[in-house]
Structure 1
Amino acid sequence: MVRLVMILLGVDYLRTRWRSLQRIGCVSLLLGMVVFIDALDGALYFPIMPFAFLLLLEGLATLAVAWTGMGGQRTLRYVKGLAFCFAAALILAGHHHGHFILSMIFGTLFLADGLLQIVSARVVRYRTWKLAVIGGGVEIALAIFFYQPYPTHYVGTVPYCLGLGLMFGGWNLLLLSTRVRRLVSNPAVASGDAEADVASSAAGAAAPGRLAAVEWDGPPAADEAALTVHVWTPVGSAKGEARRQPIVDRYIAAVDRNGVISTGHAALESPEGIYISLYPGVEIDRSPDDFARLLRATRENDVPGVFQPDYRTEAKAWCPSTVQVRIRNYDPARLRRFWDSYRQDTTYNLTYRNCSSSVSRALEAAIEGASARVWGGLGGWRPFLRVITTPELWVAAQLRKRAATMAWTPGLTLDYARALSMLADPRPSGWTRMARLAVRRMVRSRQQWREEARHAQAGQQGADDAAAGALRE
């Protein structure tokens, strides 16, 4: 999440506020430790019932406005609202059962995430895989802590989770403040060339300034200039009829009736003529026997790669992309600098340098400072608060973490691009949209009433005229 905040707000915005970020991080870290330790002795000073009511209120409010969202935003709001209401109901139910169910849920989530991180790290073997294994071990230890009843017999589940959240959040703020303190350019999208990075930072002042709009009602129109992420899903690009395997064929690969594996594809296209689509120069044998070996992010799996010339050529040679994600708020200059540096190396690796990782890195370079361009006019800390309170930031951070510990796939890139599109091109909040709809309905109702009154008056006038004519006759 630290890197995403750096990408969305830009280094210039964060560097001027590093001291405040550091103080807030320290306070959050200490407060989390106090809340966590307080729950260990079973005598809770944490106001758990008021917290449950606030959680329930937030869940109900989210459900009330969830229908106003667009596409995935609507689904995310429903999930968030239902999760908050369910957790609040378990807390308010009290007794042993509610706390026990919450502990089992949190413990299972930590256990599943930790095991997945360890297994994927050992299979892929990327550069920092040992650190990922340690992180997975910590998550498994937390899962065991939630599973066993000592020392509070599950009564301290909510304070434990809140304390851990505050501690992790404070630690992330400390990392963020430390990283942006002396940065000249953004390492999250750095090219690796010191001179190019300095030039990128110097050219940042010439980048597009604040946008006139701060939110949009939907995705860009078909005739509107926008950055486009093309995704060929594994199922949609399979040569034969795919055998459906939920989750696997969405995020990893699809297998057709002949046993041929399809991993899908991803590409990025800009109106300025940039097209980023990395493909192996020679076809990789993706049979089930060799596929596990090819997943390792090691040098022996590097092969020469080829960048496709443009979307029309690639779609004609293969098939049109299955899904497209379009983003208005991007920086063409930063994307151009990234592309000029990235295309110098045509190495292809199925795990760490593939079509999806290329598109994800290019997308991050293109939207650097997007939130600052949109909300910079709000001033002060409001842009930072708008970013960290947007649910899509958490979703994008989780997707990025999963891709970093496993591998970027077309499915992960698709969801990542959708989440980033909500952050770069923010949609109206639910309450704002509801207010607009209410005003529009009131205006339409008043117009309808006036029309009905006008027709009724005209009808009455016609009836009176007919009656007057009949009397004269």
Structure 2
Amino acid sequence: MGNLVLLLLGVDSLKHRARALVVIGAIFLLAGVVLVIDALDNALYFPINFFAVLFVIDGVATLIIAQSGVGGQRVLRYAKGGFMLVAGILILAGHHHGHFVLSMIFGLLFLVDGLMQCIASYVVRYERWRYVFASGVAEVFLAIFFFQPYPTHYAGTVPYFLGLFLIFSGLKLLSLARRAQRLESNPGLTTNAHPDFMPTRADTTRQTVFDGPPQASEHALTVHVWTPSGSAKKETRNYPLVDRYIAAVDINGVVSTGHAALEAPEGIYVSLYPAAEIDRSPEQFGTLLRATAENNVPGVFQPDYPTESKTWCPSTVQVRIRNYDAAKLQAFWNEYRENTTYNLTHRNCSSSVSAALEAALDGVVGRLHGPNAGWNVLLRLLLTPELWVASQIRKRALTMAWTPGLTLDYARALSMLADPRPFGWWKMSQAAIRQISELRAGWRKQDRQAVSRNTQVESAQETQ
């Protein structure tokens, strides 16, 4: 999550707050250590019921606004909301059985995530895969810690979890502050953008909240995605999640992985494809997953969307973003297109689009708010659900591989951060207030009409 905050706010914006981030990170780290130590002796001073109520409130709030998400966003919101709600209820229920079930849930989550990281990193073998493998092993050990009853017989499950959360959050804040102090620009992004680039529409009008995605007539960046099932030539077999995020298999056994491209109004079109079709039969598909040099093949960049869509088919889904930095995108593209190497998991169409998208959105939130980008902007960014969604998607993609399905959900989440929408709860509360006001106005109108009718009846009776 720290990488996305650094990306969206920009290095310059965080440099001025680096010392404060260090202080906050140190407080979080110290509080987490104290919390874990406090839970070890089975004599808890931690206000566990208070946090249980917060869990329930957060779970209910997330579930209510989950429907506003799209695709993987909705799934992640429902998963997070359901987990927080169940955790809060189990804590409030108390007793040994509630703590035991909660420990099993935490342990299972750490175990599944750790094993996924270990398996994916070992199979794909991307750069720094050993560090990710070690991280997965650490998560497995944490799962074992939650599974076994020592030393509190599961009564310290929530303090352990919150303590670990505070510790890791503190370490991430300290790392974020350190990187902001040392860096001149975001790593991995080219810095030779022209200093006199024209500001975007959002720079001049300072509009910071948008009701929805850009209209067709608006100047906007477009991410095109051909989903695996949507781009298959024949009818596909139904494999839930697999045909959405990995690959679809048609009735003839042919594998389709889909495609992704990025189009900018300035004439930039990022669409990397192998120069020669790769054999993707199910028997040979597994051997192509390693992100190693032997799987590198010559690639080719498609000229533009009209040409590609006419040659193949129109994209299945489009995600449009109005606030982006055209100069940084151009600088990235000038460097990236010099290398046409294609690798199915390490350097493919989806990873190219995701990298280009991050280059285009470098510092976009800080630039959007301009001089008003204070602590409130950072807090709003941290409280936006799409930041958590985007960070989870990015983590999965970097530890496994970018796919068109992951790129689609990533672009959707980033579009909500680059073009901020009103908060779900705020929007719902405003709608509820309007509805209540309309109901009360209707009731008052009915009362006035009833009084008027009664008055007319009384007048008629008096006349008679």
Same fold (TM over 0.5): yes
Shift of 1:451: 8.9
Aligned pair 1:154/2:117, yes or no? no
Cα deviation per residue 1:276-317 (whole Å; 9 max; x = unaligned)? 111111111111222111111111111111111111111111
> Is the 1:331–1:367 Cα contact (8 Å) retained in structure 2?
yes
**How do 1:20-419 and structure 2 match up within 5 A?**
20-63=20-63, 69=68, 71=70, 77-187=77-187, 189-191=188-190, 197=191, 199-200=192-193, 202=195, 209=203, 212-376=206-370, 378-419=372-413
CA distance in 2 between counterparts of 1:49 and 1:455 reads 51
> Are the counterparts in 2 of residues 265 and 356 from structure 1 also a CA contact under 8 Å?
yes
Render the CA deviation track for 1:97-131: whole Å, top value 9, x for unaligned: 11111111111111111111111111111111111
Structure 1 residue 441: deviation in Å?
Answer: 3.7
Deviates more, 1:243-252 or 1:159-168: 243-252
Find the aligned partners of 1:295 and 1:65 in 2 and give their Cα distance.
37
The Cα shift of 1:50 comes to 1.7
Unpaired runs of at least 5, structure 1: 192-196
Give the alignment's TM-score, normalised by structure 1: 0.89
Query: Is the CA contact 1:36–1:164 (under 8 Å) kept in the aligned structure 2?
Result: yes
Q: Cα distance, 1:456 vs. partner?
A: 10
Report the count of equivalent residues. Answer: 457
Q: 1:137 to 1:275 in 2, by over 3 A?
A: same
Matched, 1:5 2:5: yes
Alpha-carbon spacing, 1:420–1:229, altered in 2? closer, same or farther (3 Å):
same
Residue 18 of structure 2 corresponds to 18
Partner of 1:200: helix, strand, or coil?
A: coil
Q: Which residue of 2 aligns with 1:194?
A: none
Equivalent residue letter for 2:385: P
Residues 331-380 of structure 1 show CA distances to partners (whole Å, capped at 9, x for unaligned) of 11111111111111111111111000000001111111122134445443
Contiguous gaps of at least 5 residues in structure 2 = none
- Per mean C-alpha deviation after superposition, the further-off stretch among 77-86 and 45-54 is 77-86
Shift of 1:387: 1.4
Return the letter of the residue paired with 2:193: S
1:425, distance to aligned residue in structure 2 (A): 1.4
User: Is contact 2:227-2:257 (8 Å) kept?
Assistant: yes
CA RMSD of aligned residues (A): 2.9
4+ runs of 1 displaced by more than 6 Å? 204-208, 446-460
Q: Contact 2:61/2:425 (CA < 8 Å) preserved in 1?
A: no
The alpha-carbon distance between structure 1 residues 78 and 213, as it changes in their structure 2 partners (threshold 3 A), is: farther
Partners of 1:343 and 1:205 in 2: CA distance: 24
Cα distance per residue 1:374-415 (max 9 Å; x no partner): 444544311111112222111111111111111100111111
Does the Cα contact within 8 Å between 1:15 and 1:180 map onto a contact in 2? yes
Task: Work out whether residues 211 and 373 of structure 1, in 8 Å CA contact, stay in contact via their aligned partners in 2.
Answer: no
Say which SS state the counterpart of residue 182 (structure 2) adopts.
coil
Q: Structure 2 vs 1, CA of residues 445 and 37 (structure 1 numbering), >3 Å: closer, same or farther?
A: closer
Report the AA paired with residue 89 of structure 1: I
In structure 2, relative to structure 1, the CA distance for the partners of 1:42 and 1:299 (3 Å cut) is same
Q: 1:210 to 1:92 in 2, by over 3 A?
A: farther
Are the counterparts in 1 of residues 123 and 290 from structure 2 also a CA contact under 8 Å?
yes
Does the residue aligned with 1:279 lie in a helix, a strand or coil? strand
- TM-score when scaled to structure 2? 0.90
Does the CA-based 8 Å contact 1:232-1:265 persist in structure 2? yes
Identity %: 61
